[in-house]
Structure formats: structure tokens, C-alpha cells
Structure 1
Amino acid sequence: MNRAYVGLGSNLGDSRQLVLDAMDALENLPGARPVGRSRLYRTPPWGLLEQPPFINAAMAVETPMAPLELLDAMLAIERAAGRIRDGERWGPRTLDLDLLHVEGFVLHDPRLTLPHPRIAERAFVLLPLNELAPDLELADQGRIAEMLAAVDSSQCQLLP
């Protein structure tokens, strides 16, 4: 079994429900076992700023899937939620699932880099991930808690 950490986000439609449904779908993948879910956060958009705020979360799941197989399953969950990948980066989306880290794997593939190379820049990833694994050490990036302390998370709001 591989422990995988996934970042989830949405800013179109019923974002809260889309993120919660995606968590359920990830936990229900063949052979998967849930490990933990973060709380939900409202966060400002990244990259393209003229769009609605996001709902973000993170989760950990143990899975027998290899990273690229898990990536394909995550893309299927996005498509089922109405996500259309049209090449636009950082734009609005019904659902965005990012494979952030899989314990025991460092990967540099054209489709997937592990750990995710921009975790340290993104409060919307670090805040929820810190709830699950503050002491998680990522290759060439450091500990989650230390990375979180180095970014501005003041515009991120915990949702009730």
C-alpha cells in the first residue's frame, strides 16, 4: 500500500459539495483505505486572479495503485465532476485534484512530478496538508510545517 496525499480544489458550482464528493470518490477507489481529511478552506485564486475564490482541502489515502495509475483515477473523478481540461492553467474549475506526494516515490515523468514541485509556494495546499502531516518531509522542499510558516496564509479562511 502507498500513502498518497491529494490536494483538492473547486471554484465553480457547489464547490464545497464537489470537494466532499471527490474525497468520497478517492476513498472508494479499489483497495483504498482512508487515512485523513483536512477541513475546508476558502482561499484566493492563484495565477489568474480574476475568478471566484476556491474551496480547498487535502486528504491522505492508502492505495495499492502506483502513482500514474492513481493520477488516471483522479483525472476520471475530475471528469465525472464536469472538469474540462482545455489547456488553460490556473483558471476556474469545477474540480482540481493534485497528487501532491506519494510516500516512497520521487518521480519525474512528463505527466507527473512527485513530490509536487510547487507545494512550498502555495498556502492553499500547505494549510490543509499541515492538518494531516505537519512533520512530513518532502524531497528537496522540507517539512510541511516549516513551509507553511514561510508563506502568507492570511487570506485563507477556515470554513465552518
Structure 2
Amino acid sequence: MREPVTAFVGLGANLGDAQAALRAALTAIGTAPGTRLVRSSRFYGSAPVDAGGPDYVNAVAQVETTLDAFALLRQLQAIELAAGRERPYRNAPRTLDLDLLLYGSARIASAVLTVPHPRLRERAFVLLPLAELAPERVAARDLAAVAHQRIAPLPGASSTA
């Protein structure tokens, strides 16, 4: 049995009932084999970045997993698929998007996975909820660089932190 690794997963959706999709994804992540949901951030509403469509609902989940990073990615992609995720074009609106942001202290650069997530520092919808869970992982300069992006906590969407 592998030692558990702490990983952070970004969640987002902007089609259908996005909050329900994120809640269902958190449940699916927490009940997936080899993975335990430790806590999640509040839900945030954010404007699309480099994309069109309705505003997004975003959050970040902290998990402990005995899966390797590639197996965890496959598990996240299976949850997306079960939620009706389609990929008609880059940055298309989506029913559910799950991104592996951080996997322990690993640095991975492969054709299918890059960790830390390559655009992590460019997106307020990732940095703000990540800072809620792991402030030591988010630099003040990175938050300042995305301060112009529209994002706000959603009413009644409390974290499990």
C-alpha cells in the first residue's frame, strides 16, 4: 500500500446546475477507491477566463490519495465523464471540469499531465479557493496578479474546511 499523498483538485462548472454538479463531484471524489476528501473550499462564482459562456462555479478540494498522479487523473476524468463532460473545443462551457492542481510536492511534465497545473498562477478561480485551504501554497504576488479577474464567494456556499 502506498503512503497517502495530499493533492489539490480544482472543480468548475458553468452548464446546468453547476453547484449541484460540484457537490456531486465532491461526493464522487470522496468515495472513489484510494481517495479521501479532506476538505473543500467555499464555492465561488467567476467570470470565464479565456472562454465564453455563463459564469462558472468553482472550488478546490484537498484530498489524500494512495493513487499515483496518473491514476488520480484517470479517476477525475471518469467522474467528469459520468457528469456528462464533453470536450467539443478548447475552453468550451462544461458540466464539470476537474483539474489536478497539485500532487504532493511532485513536478510532472508529460503529454497527459502537468503538475503543478500549468495555469494555476494565472487564475483567480483557482488561487482564491486554494488559498482558503492551503495559504502557504499561494504567493501574495500571484493573488495580486489576478486581482482584476471577477470572482466572489457564493452566498450560502460554505466550505468543509
TM-score, structure 2 length as denominator?
A: 0.89
Separation of aligned partners in 2, 1:93 and 1:37 = 20
> Structure 1: any 5+ residue segments left out of the alignment?
137-142
Q: Partner letter of residue 6 of structure 1?
A: V
Within 5 Å, which residues of 2 pair with 1:9-158?
A: 9-49=12-52, 51-86=53-88, 88-136=89-137, 143-152=138-147, 155-158=150-153
Aligned-residue RMSD, C-alpha: 1.3
Equivalenced residue count is 152
TM-superposed deviation, 1:85: 2.2
TM-superposed deviation, 1:22: 0.4
The SS at the match of 1:104 is coil
C-alpha change, 1:144 and 1:77, in structure 2 (3 Å) is farther
Give CA-to-partner distance per residue, 1:5-62, whole Å, 9 cap, x none: 000000001100001110111111113222220000010011123x100000001000
C-alpha change, 1:154 and 1:104, in structure 2 (3 Å) is closer
Give CA-to-partner distance per residue, 1:59-115, whole Å, 9 cap, x none: 1000000000000000000010000123x1111000000000101311011000000
Asked whether the equivalents of residues 5 and 59 of structure 1 are also in contact (C-alpha less than 8 Å), the reply is yes
> Structure 2: any 5+ residue segments left out of the alignment?
156-161
Greater than 4 Å deviation, 4+ residue runs? none
TM-score, structure 1 length as denominator?
A: 0.90
Percent identical: 47
Separation of aligned partners in 2, 1:104 and 1:152 = 26
